Amino acid sequence: MEYKKSAKERFLDEYFGGVEDWDKHLADLITGDENAHLLETREKIMKEQEEFGNRTNFELGREMWYSNYFFINSLILNFITDAEGDPDLINELKKIYVGVLGNFGPDAVALNMDEEYDGYLIKMNADVDYQLTYISDLVSYHMYGMTLNDERERDNLIPKMWESLSDLVDKKALLKKLRENRQAPAPRQVDLESPRLHIATDLYVAGMSFVLGHEIGHHFLKHTESNRRNIVAKFMPPDGTFSQLHLDEFTADNFSFDLLIRGMKERNDLTLFAPSLIVILLLALYDKTPQEPSQTHPSLRDRYLNLLKRVSEQDEEVASKLQQIFNHVATWINVALGGHWKTEWWK
């Protein structure tokens, strides 16, 4: 059999700025004279990854098979562990490579298959990771606030909500803040026991898993077979119903949702919430008309309603809780941004 290069090699061949180890790349950007503390933190993170890897990656530390980004590599390893008992799925999952690039914009793409290379390549901007962090923060303050009875305690969260919304929509302010943080001498104390932080972390992990699962879905459902999309494009009817591309998005969402459920050891509402409450809501921040479809994608409203249906198949009560939280957060965002959306598209 002829030797083919791997998806990882394809990523490094084709993408300018693609590096083999994203975390190390970030660590190398920090110099000691600029900020000794930040350097120390980065080194600590690398060491923690090494130890975590030794515990989970068969004693292989930061060895990365499935992505140049340690966290994503861990998530793919989770998918593989969760697929126990399904050798075909495991074999397919092992062909994935997720290449993270430093470009702006929350984009993730399952690349069309290339006959010269083996495996499934997914390309993702590091911005996906940052944006998912900020929106998980924003939603977690709301969800935590909804559990508080004391009005003053709730009001205390409002500045935090504004800050995470600003991180999402005001790039200039964010860059300024990051620059200031870079120079800040004292570490910010993070309360790891905070119930709010637990909500944010669970939402973030499930949100990122859902994004990955969606792109994996495009590959496994053969949406990326060479020519398939081109054929669709070529034979697109002039009046344009684009229905196949739209259908592909729903099936990729459903594939990813199934993958998430498969990984749940017990019912976890946050995992069920994350696809709509984190991913769809984030995409909607970039879309002035989430009720309208585009050429390639169904409307975010329809994707939200589909995911809501999937949650209600699991548990109707959780679905109605999701609807309530979604309405709460989306309404707040819309008012905060002075009518970002013209309609209450989530209703």
AA letter at 63: E
**From the CB of 242, what's the least distance to Zn ion, in Å?**
13
- Quick count: other Cβ atoms within 10 Å of Cβ 291? 16
AA letter at 309: K
Rounded alpha-carbon distances, angstroms, from residue 238 to 128, 208, 233, 288, 323: 34, 37, 11, 26, 37
User: Please, which of residues 273-292 interact with Zn ion by CB under 5 A?
Assistant: none
Q: Where are the alpha helices (DSSP H) in 30-170?
A: 36-56, 70-82, 87-93, 126-147, 151-155, 158-169
User: Residue 75: how many CA atoms within 13 Å on its side-chain side?
Assistant: 25
Q: Of the ranges 61-69, 81-89, 242-250, 286-294, which one interacts with Zn ion (CB under 5 A)?
A: 242-250
Query: Considering beta carbons, is residue 129 or 249 the nearer one to Zn ion?
Result: 249
What's the first-to-final CA gap in the chain, in angstroms? 55
Backbone φ, ψ for residue 157 (5° rounding): -80, -20
Site string for Zn ion, 2-41 (x = CB under 5 A): ----------------------------------------
Query: Considering beta carbons, is residue 60 or 109 the nearer one to Zn ion?
Result: 109
- Total residues in contact with Zn ion, by rule CB under 5 A: 2
**From the CB of 214, what's the least distance to Zn ion, in Å?**
6
AA letter at 6: S
**From the CB of 249, what's the least distance to Zn ion, in Å?**
5
**From the CB of 300, what's the least distance to Zn ion, in Å?**
12
**From the CB of 232, what's the least distance to Zn ion, in Å?**
14
**From the CB of 81, what's the least distance to Zn ion, in Å?**
25
CA–CA gap between residue 167 and residue 196 (Å, rounded): 18
**From the CB of 253, what's the least distance to Zn ion, in Å?**
8
Query: Considering beta carbons, is residue 18 or 217 the nearer one to Zn ion?
Result: 217
CA–CA gap between residue 158 and residue 151 (Å, rounded): 11
Query: Considering beta carbons, is residue 43 or 225 the nearer one to Zn ion?
Result: 225
Residue 246: enclosing H or E segment and its boundaries? helix 243-263
Q: Which of 291, 218, 305, 296 is nearest to 256 (CA)?
A: 218
**From the CB of 223, what's the least distance to Zn ion, in Å?**
8
Q: Of the ranges 31-39, 115-123, 143-151, 250-258, which one interacts with Zn ion (CB under 5 A)?
A: 250-258
Q: Of the ranges 81-89, 124-132, 189-197, 249-257, which one interacts with Zn ion (CB under 5 A)?
A: 249-257
Query: Considering beta carbons, is residue 137 or 248 the nearer one to Zn ion?
Result: 248
Q: Of the ranges 9-17, 175-183, 243-251, 283-291, which one interacts with Zn ion (CB under 5 A)?
A: 243-251
Q: Measured on CA atoms in the order 163, 169, 170, 176, is the torsion positive or negative?
A: positive
- The CA angle 204-168-293, to the nearest 5 degrees, is 85
Query: Considering beta carbons, is residue 202 or 249 the nearer one to Zn ion?
Result: 249
Query: Considering beta carbons, is residue 122 or 138 the nearer one to Zn ion?
Result: 122
Query: Considering beta carbons, is residue 121 or 329 the nearer one to Zn ion?
Result: 121
Binding footprint of Zn ion on the chain (CB under 5 A): 249, 252
